[in-house]
A and B are shown apart, each in its own frame.
Chain A
Amino acid sequence: MDGIRASESGPILSLSEVTLGYGERTVQRRLTFEVRRGSVFAIMGGSGSGKSTLLRSMIGLLEPMSGTVTFANENYWLAGSRERAEMGRRFGVLFQSGALWSSLSVGENVALPMQMFTNMSESAIRRLVELKLELVEMEEAIDLLPAQLSGGMIKRAGLARALALDPDVLFLDEPSSGLDPVTSRRLDDLILDLREATGATFVLVSHDLLSLFTVADDGVFLDGPAATAIARGSPAQLRDTSEDLRVRAFMRREQPKSAPHLDEEK
């Protein structure tokens, strides 16, 4: 695992002049940034600013209207479907809703990617599944169905599934939404531990400021009305040194003075 990661250099993900939208509606324009290997990269911004849309384009669910997304020095959207699928297997994604496959038990959810893409025996898979569930403290729930889990358990099971194929990049969409402060804190610690233990890169969408300051060491700030990124840097940097009033106000949980956020997009 480390061997693979060591053999590649440069940023693990980079976006260049990426414009995103649905149909004729543009959500974000000309996004250019890089995600360093091993970093915890935060996509920040207000509600409806296009954070999840950006995440969807990074994991291959939404093709950008223009621009390039490069994963490990390869142009993601120019690659053939087979190469894209291979790149996709180096991603782990925790969706906002958890998105556990509802007809499968927690254990089967974690096992499915391994059954599909490895030649491991069932007993080897079972051992790995137990390990991943132990990492997120969910080993007790291995035989439960997603409908029997609480919100926090769904998130943790989703994280265990995201870890199934030992991904190079873990994408987390609002990991702490709907979690109580203690569980949310435990999730933050888990992210930091996993980063240290596996060397994986994390990309997370969040507007939980406390969690952002704890885990993220880099990031990009999207603005809805401006429809582009208006700041780059770690959440703490943005809070302390950003010259943009909108960014500083957001990161400090204040009302922006000139209130450009409140204007409707024209």
Chain B
Amino acid sequence: MSGWEFRQHDGAGLIVLAGDWLTRAHEPHPPELASQGNRAALERVAFDVSRLGRWDTTLVAFLCEVRRAATAAAVNFDDSALPGSARKLLALLPVEPSQKHPLAPGRLRFLARLGGATILLLSDVGASATVMTGVVASSLRLLLGRARMRRADLLRDLLRAGPRAVAIVGIANFLVGAILAFVGAQELRRFGAESYVPSLVGVASVRELSSLITGIVMAGRNGGAYAARIASMRGNDEIAALRVIGIPIDDFLLLPAVMSLCLSMPLLYVFGCVFAIGGGFMVATTSIGMSAAAYLHQTVDAVPLGDFIFGAVKSIAFAALIGSVSCGMGLRAARSAMAVGEAATSAVVMNIVGIIALDAIFAVIIQTLGL
């Protein structure tokens, strides 16, 4: 058993330490010097270590608290009986506890948090907008043949944003198309309108869902990766190394990232549409007994070509958004491993919210233009 006992004889206090004082063995005992004995009469406090067993910093922490309490109460702290090494450790610690910054009162703290979050959000948006303008300027330079982009970098990013993403985009869209056909068939059956399932799947996926699903998949897949890559390059001073010798990061890093997405996402969107219609086709031909020819015929009838163009334009906008937000988050990250993870997370979150918001804006524009 470990512990301590306080004994007082006139003005002299004695703390008797007993047993083992080990961090892994027991909870530290906070001393309550003020409540022990007659404080007014206490002049000095000493220690008896004859029954003290093994000890580590737990004991030193306790002694430090005793010393602070003794100093505060103007009681003489007599450490002469303590083991020499404990005295040495104690001497390394300050007598006064370190000053902690006082916390703002509750209401102010809430306001401060709200303000901090608002500023953070605005600066995130600002960083993304800066990347976007930089990339636009950089692509204009590319058209004039003056951008310092390496073709190898574009090809590498294109490979990651294109062929390697086909499977996941295909699966997600196929399943969404199938779900849509299932749910649609159930509801339309009540009106005897099951034959409209192909139109429902076709119009919904070509106009809205395929570009949205593709955007969200790519935001998670490539957006997070871009943010993490750029954030860790920043942490490792690779971005600084580019800046010093004047290699424009817009051209060298951001343009290939954003351009690869802008080139690949419209194609992925078309793939997505085909897969979604395929999902609907599978459900319709197997569970509601529609013929393959009828399904395809009705899909072709229901989906005008203009909808594909609209969807492809949206995909390019989503791609520009994903590229800019992700690179912006990466460039804004602090220089630590944790910041890399945070940059990736906030890039994905901002991308998904941004894509849905952008989709809503497109819907309003289409509605207003009456297309």
A contact set with B: CB distance below 8 Å: 56, 59-61, 84-86, 88-89, 91, 93, 95-97, 99-103, 112-113, 115-117, 161, 165
Q: A89: which of B233, B240, B245 is its contact (CB, 8 Å)?
A: B245
Known contacts A97-B236, A99-B238, A102-B238; is A60 also within 8 Å of B243 by CB?
A: yes
Number of A-B contacts (CB under 8 A): 54
- Among residues of A, the one whose C-beta sits closest to the C-beta of B242 is A101
CB atoms of B238 and A85 under 8 A apart: no
Known contacts A102-B233, A116-B148; is A88 also within 8 Å of B245 by CB?
A: yes
| Cβ-based interface call for B14 (8 A) | no
Residues of B within 8 A of A61 (CB): 240, 243-244
Which of B153, B240, B242 has the most chain A CB within a 10 Å cutoff? Answer: B240
Residues of A within 8 A of B246 (CB): 84-86, 88-89, 117
Which of B238, B240, B244, B247 has the most chain A CB within a 10 Å cutoff? Answer: B244
CB atoms of B233 and A91 under 8 A apart: no
Q: Can you pick out 15 interface pairs between chain A and chain B where the beta carbons lie within 8 Å of each other?
A: A59-B244, A88-B245, A89-B245, A91-B244, A97-B237, A99-B236, A99-B238, A100-B238, A101-B233, A103-B153, A103-B156, A116-B148, A116-B245, A117-B245, A161-B241
Residues of B within 8 A of A100 (CB): 238
Question: When chains A and B are docked, how far (Å) is the Cα of A102 from the Cα of B242?
Answer: 12
Residues of B within 8 A of A101 (CB): 233, 238, 241-242
Min CB distance B343 to A, Å, is 16
CB contact list, B218-270 vs A, under 8 A: 232-233, 236-238, 240-247
Residues of B within 8 A of A59 (CB): 244
Residues of A within 8 A of B148 (CB): 116
B contact set with A: CB distance below 8 Å: 148, 150, 153, 156, 232-233, 236-238, 240-247
Question: When chains A and B are docked, how far (Å) is the Cα of A59 from the Cα of B242?
Answer: 12
- Among residues of B, the one whose C-beta sits closest to the C-beta of A113 is B245
CB atoms of A96 and B238 under 8 A apart: no
Question: When chains A and B are docked, how far (Å) is the Cα of A95 from the Cα of B245?
Answer: 13
List of 6 A-B pairs having minimum Cβ-Cβ separation, nearest first: A85-B246, A99-B237, A95-B237, A99-B241, A88-B246, A93-B244
Question: When chains A and B are docked, how far (Å) is the Cα of A103 from the Cα of B233?
Answer: 10
- Among residues of A, the one whose C-beta sits closest to the C-beta of B156 is A103
Known contacts A102-B236, A116-B148; is A95 also within 8 Å of B243 by CB?
A: no
CB atoms of A113 and B240 under 8 A apart: no
Question: When chains A and B are docked, how far (Å) is the Cα of A60 from the Cα of B241?
Answer: 11
Min CB distance B157 to A, Å, is 10
Which of B233, B237, B243 has the most chain A CB within a 10 Å cutoff? Answer: B237
Question: When chains A and B are docked, how far (Å) is the Cα of A59 from the Cα of B240?
Answer: 10
Question: When chains A and B are docked, how far (Å) is the Cα of A115 from the Cα of B241?
Answer: 15
- Among residues of B, the one whose C-beta sits closest to the C-beta of A167 is B245
Question: When chains A and B are docked, how far (Å) is the Cα of A59 from the Cα of B236?
Answer: 17
- Among residues of A, the one whose C-beta sits closest to the C-beta of B233 is A102
Question: When chains A and B are docked, how far (Å) is the Cα of A85 from the Cα of B245?
Answer: 7
- Among residues of B, the one whose C-beta sits closest to the C-beta of A86 is B246
Residues of A within 8 A of B238 (CB): 99-102
Question: When chains A and B are docked, how far (Å) is the Cα of A117 from the Cα of B244?
Answer: 13
Residues of A within 8 A of B247 (CB): 112-113, 116
Min CB distance A146 to B, Å, is 9
CB atoms of A88 and B244 under 8 A apart: yes
Residues of B within 8 A of A60 (CB): 243-244
Residues of B within 8 A of A99 (CB): 236-238, 240-241
Which of B238, B241, B243, B247 has the most chain A CB within a 10 Å cutoff? Answer: B241
- Among residues of A, the one whose C-beta sits closest to the C-beta of B247 is A116
Residues of A within 8 A of B243 (CB): 60-61, 88
Question: When chains A and B are docked, how far (Å) is the Cα of A187 from the Cα of B233?
Answer: 25
Min CB distance B146 to A, Å, is 12
Question: When chains A and B are docked, how far (Å) is the Cα of A84 from the Cα of B243?
Answer: 11
- Among residues of A, the one whose C-beta sits closest to the C-beta of B252 is A116
Which of A97, A99, A112 has the most chain B CB within a 10 Å cutoff? Answer: A99
Question: When chains A and B are docked, how far (Å) is the Cα of A16 from the Cα of B241?
Answer: 25
Question: When chains A and B are docked, how far (Å) is the Cα of A100 from the Cα of B236?
Answer: 8
Residues of A within 8 A of B233 (CB): 101-102
Residues of B within 8 A of A86 (CB): 246
Question: When chains A and B are docked, how far (Å) is the Cα of A201 from the Cα of B63?
Answer: 55
- Among residues of A, the one whose C-beta sits closest to the C-beta of B251 is A116
Residues of A within 8 A of B237 (CB): 95-97, 99
Min CB distance B7 to A, Å, is 38
Min CB distance A261 to B, Å, is 16
